[in-house]
Structure formats: C-alpha cells, structure tokens
Amino acid sequence: MIDTLRHHFTGELDLPPSAIDWLLDLWRVIQVFDDAADGDAIDPAEAQAATWAALISLPGNPFFCANAAALQPALATAVLKWFAANEAELDGRADERSYMWRAGYYDVVLLVVLLCHGRVEAERLASSVMRMYGEPFADYRKEFPRA
C-alpha cells in the first residue's frame, strides 16, 4: 500500500517531498496502531519504524512543523473517528457509517493537498483523493457479519 500511496502523492497530487514523507510515516503509524488495537501480529521491524516515526519523524517533519496548527485538529478528528469506528465494530454496530469513519486518513490527505496547492486545486483533486480509500465496503462488511 505504501507504494500505491507514494504513486498517488508524487503523481496526480504532486505533493512536495516533505509532505509525502509525513503522510507515509502517518500511514505506517496508523497501520501499526490499528493492528495493535485489533490484536493482530505486528512485525518487530514495523513496530520499531512506527515508534521512530511517531516520536521523531512525524513531529520533526518540516511540512508538519510549518502546518501543525492546521494538521493537529485534522489528526485529532481522524483519531476520534477511528475510535468511534472501533467502538461500533466491537459493539456489533459496524455499518456504512463506521466504514467511512475509518477513512479519516484521507481527510488528512485532502487537507495536505489544500495546504500545498490551495483551494482551487484541492477542489479539482478532492474526488481523486477520496477515491484512494481502497477497501471496498463489501470487504469491510465481511469482517463484521453480526452487525
């Protein structure tokens, strides 16, 4: 998935390298945290890389440092949406809404596009960014048959 994201970020979205690095580090951290929350096995090298990213790379990234005031609220919202999705899934209430709550990362990506390119270009690219969410709803639904 990292290669697919990098392709989108460098291609159509034409993001600067520091923004790409920040988004890819964020993806890695999210994946490790999600695996931990789900009780899935985590490769030690991935855990180590995510720890470095969470504590060093993400907060020290030049793109983040320049845009932290805008990015922090978006990150907080994405995390809260993830918490809500996890709660719904654990309670047997997974549905179309909880599926979309899991896509908070792409809200952050869209904000990064806005910060890098401005409103007009972000508006043009918005549907492309939102289509990047790769998990079909049918696959998500299979994970929670009781809901």
Nearest alpha carbon to residue 114 among 5, 13, 12: 13
Question: Tell me, what's the pLDDT at 139?
Answer: 83
Give residue 52's domain range.
2-143
Q: Over the stretch 111-138, which tens digit does the pLDDT of each residue have?
A: 999 999 999 999 999 999 999 988 888 8
Phi and psi at 91, nearest 5°, equal -90, 5
**Each residue of 45-71: pLDDT tens digit?**
999 999 999 999 999 999 999 999 999
Helix 62-90 vs helix 17-38: crossing angle, to nearest 10: 30
For residues 19-25, give the mean pLDDT: 98
- pTM for the full model? 0.92
Answer yes or no: is pLDDT of 90 > 70: yes
- Burial code (b: 16+ CB inside 10 Å, e: under 16) for 76-85 equals eebeebbeeb
Query: 6 and 139 in contact (C-beta within 8 Å)?
Result: no
Q: What pLDDT, on the 0 to 100 scale, is given for residue 66?
A: 98
Mark out the alpha helices in 1-136 (DSSP H runs). Answer: 2-10, 17-38, 44-52, 58-60, 62-90, 96-101, 104-130
**Total domains in the fold of the chain:** 1
Q: What pLDDT, on a 0 to 100 scale, did the predictor assign at position 1?
A: 81
Q: How confident is the model at residue 146 (pLDDT cuts 50, 70, 90)?
A: low
